[in-house]
Amino acid sequence: MNILGIETSCDETAAAVVRDGFKVDSNVVASSLKEHAAFGGIIPEIASRRQIESIHSVVSQALDQAKVTLKHIDAIAVTAKPGLIGSLLVGVSFARALAYAAKKPLIEVDHIQAHWYACFLRSKNDNRPLPNLPAVGLVVSGGHTSLFDIKNVDRVKLIGKTRDDAAGEAFDKVARLLNLGYPGGPVIDRLAKEGTNDQIRFPRAELQGSYDFSFSGLKTAVLYYTRKHKNFSVKQVAYSFQESVVDVLTDRAILACQRKRVNTLFVGGGVAANSALRERLIQTAEEMDIKVYFPPMSFCLDNAAMIAGLGYRLTKRR
């Protein structure tokens, strides 16, 4: 079964063709990220205008690269929520019109759920076995930090979330106050590799009795530190900040696996690309006999393959 996926929830305009819920035959992403960099964050008006300009060619390219036409597509899956409303409207309107004209079923997909589902995606030469459910899902992106108890693709319970900033948002805000530009995650990830000493210890928010997260105190601690120490080392601050985020994310995710008695952990979203988080989770999970799955790098950030993949699984459950 071929599903055409469409994703336009933020600054990416993406389309993909996915076979049987996991085999990615094409994955096209156009991004307006560079245009937002000068503003230090996403400008919704710019994002939706670029979506309108590129949606048609992105969808055409996805079909071409998969060597199919609409005739071979069994259903169209589109991100319905959450996201910037102007951006979402572009994808949803386009998908609805296409589904109506081509007489295909339309499947509405939740973007956050699709982020953990990305662990199931396989590109052309990737023949690794597919993971099993039940699992715990940790979604760490620019807009969300959520923990899910996943019994099945349509039986998912939110068990923890951030009470303030999302993990990716914390990376972006700290990068901004260190004058590192936007987005902050990749540059902090890179700099932290050169600043590996534990001289600075930033706080870890302990929210007793819950799986929730909080990153705004950490961000403020970084701000105060940089004000107080005029000649601080950017690499040290990047490292210590990242360590704090990695500690908290790892603790909560592993705790959830233990309490829910599951030995499968999915990690998804832009922050899942973070090398320190990947390393720590792999190591800790191994010690606890938990199998941790990350999407391949190209499926960590926003993409439409994850939307098509989850869309397939949802139609199968209907």
* Distance of alpha carbon 56 from the chain centroid: 24
Quick check: 124 and 137 in contact, CB under 8 A? no
By CB under 5 A, residue 141 contacts Zn ion = yes
CB of 157 to Zn ion, least distance (A): 20
Closer to Zn ion by CB, 182 or 202: give it: 182
What's the order of all strands across the beta sheet hosting 135-140?
155-161, 145-152, 135-140, 264-268, 291-293
> Segment near Zn ion (CB under 5 A), from 60-68, 119-127, 133-141, 163-171?
133-141
The 251-290 contact track toward Zn ion, x by CB under 5 A, reads ----------------------------------------
Nearest of 83, 216, 92, 99 to residue 144 by alpha carbon: 83
The owner of tokens 């191994």 is 286
Question: How far apart are the C-alpha atoms of 264 and 204, rounded to whole Å?
Answer: 25
CB of 176 to Zn ion, least distance (A): 20
Q: Residue 186 binds what, of ligand KG4, Zn ion, none (CB under 5 to 8 Å, by partner type)?
A: ligand KG4
Q: Residue 195 binds what, of Zn ion, ligand KG4, none (CB under 5 to 8 Å, by partner type)?
A: none
Question: How far apart are the C-alpha atoms of 86 and 190, rounded to whole Å?
Answer: 33
Closer to ligand KG4 by CB, 33 or 70: give it: 33
Question: How far apart are the C-alpha atoms of 293 and 291, rounded to whole Å?
Answer: 7
Nearest of 75, 85, 168, 115 to residue 305 by alpha carbon: 115
How many residues touch Zn ion under the rule CB under 5 A: the total is 2
Q: Residue 149 binds what, of Zn ion, ligand KG4, none (CB under 5 to 8 Å, by partner type)?
A: none
- DSSP for 289-302, written as a single string: T-EEE---GGGTSS
Q: Residue 183 binds what, of Zn ion, ligand KG4, none (CB under 5 to 8 Å, by partner type)?
A: ligand KG4
What's the one-letter identity of residue 209? Answer: G
Closer to ligand KG4 by CB, 63 or 174: give it: 174
CB of 269 to Zn ion, least distance (A): 6
CB atoms within 10 A of CB 109: 27
Q: Residue 40 binds what, of Zn ion, ligand KG4, none (CB under 5 to 8 Å, by partner type)?
A: none
- Bridge-based pairing of strands 75-81 and 2-7 is parallel
By CB under 5 A, residue 25 contacts Zn ion = no
Nearest of 250, 24, 210, 189 to residue 117 by alpha carbon: 24
Closer to ligand KG4 by CB, 160 or 269: give it: 269
Closer to Zn ion by CB, 166 or 178: give it: 166
CB atoms within 10 A of CB 312: 26
Closer to Zn ion by CB, 27 or 141: give it: 141
Q: What is the total residue count of the chain?
A: 318
Binding site for ligand KG4 (CB under 6 A): 10, 141-143, 168, 171-172, 183-186, 189, 269-271, 273-274, 301-302
Q: Residue 86 binds what, of Zn ion, ligand KG4, none (CB under 5 to 8 Å, by partner type)?
A: none
By CB under 5 A, residue 302 contacts Zn ion = yes
Closer to Zn ion by CB, 167 or 245: give it: 167
